Amino acid sequence: MIIRCLIVPLAVAVVTVHAGFALAQDAIPVPAPQSASADECMKGFAPLREEAEQRGRLIKAASERYAPPEEACELIANFGQAEIRMIRYVESRAATCGIAPQVSEQLKTGHKNTETAQRIVCAVARRVQRRGPAGPTGDFWTLPEKQI
């Protein structure tokens, strides 16, 4: 039970720290694009960043309400998918948008942290599922029989 209470906040801390860093407004420095305007580059990246931020907020909210590990596992996996979409966008448009290589590396490092948190939380979720519900279940109260 203690592990369950600590694992979600730990995962949120890992994800939030790197998400806030990687998803900051200036995450993609756009010096002088070679064939795309800065507005075009940010227009394509902004929805991806917003999606990742929203998924990060869902993880934080789940942590604050002590969500079960199964839910946290799914939320972190969804956040990881959003990170992958950002990484692909940055890598595919690095040349045309003038995106510095370190931006991609920062996003990849953050994603590795997300994968680590996901492995930990999902392992806990699997253990909880195998173990079943905590404590006895069922109706253990019996009514006294009628005396005739």
* Extents of the domains making up the chain: 2-21+37-131
d(CA 83, CA 22): 10
d(CA 86, CA 114): 14
pLDDT in the model for residue 106: 96
Model confidence pTM above 0.85:
no
pLDDT at 140 over 70: no
Compare 117 and 130 and report the one with higher pLDDT.
117
pLDDT at 84 over 90: yes
- How many angstroms separate the Cα of 87 from the Cα of each of 8, 81, 93? 25, 10, 10
> With pLDDT > 70 as the criterion, what percentage of the chain qualifies?
64
pLDDT at 58 over 60: yes
Helix (H, G, I), strand (E, B) or coil at 68: coil
d(CA 88, CA 98): 15
Indicate the average pLDDT of the chain. 79
Cα 103 → chain centroid: 19
Cβ atoms of residues 98 and 34 within 8 Å: yes
- How many angstroms separate the Cα of 16 from the Cα of each of 6, 46, 89, 91, 132? 15, 18, 21, 23, 30
Query: What is the mean pLDDT of the segment spanning 43-62?
Result: 96
Cβ atoms of residues 52 and 23 within 8 Å: yes
Compare 10 and 86 and report the one with higher pLDDT.
86
pLDDT in the model for residue 53: 97
Q: Which residue has the tokens 């948008």?
A: 97
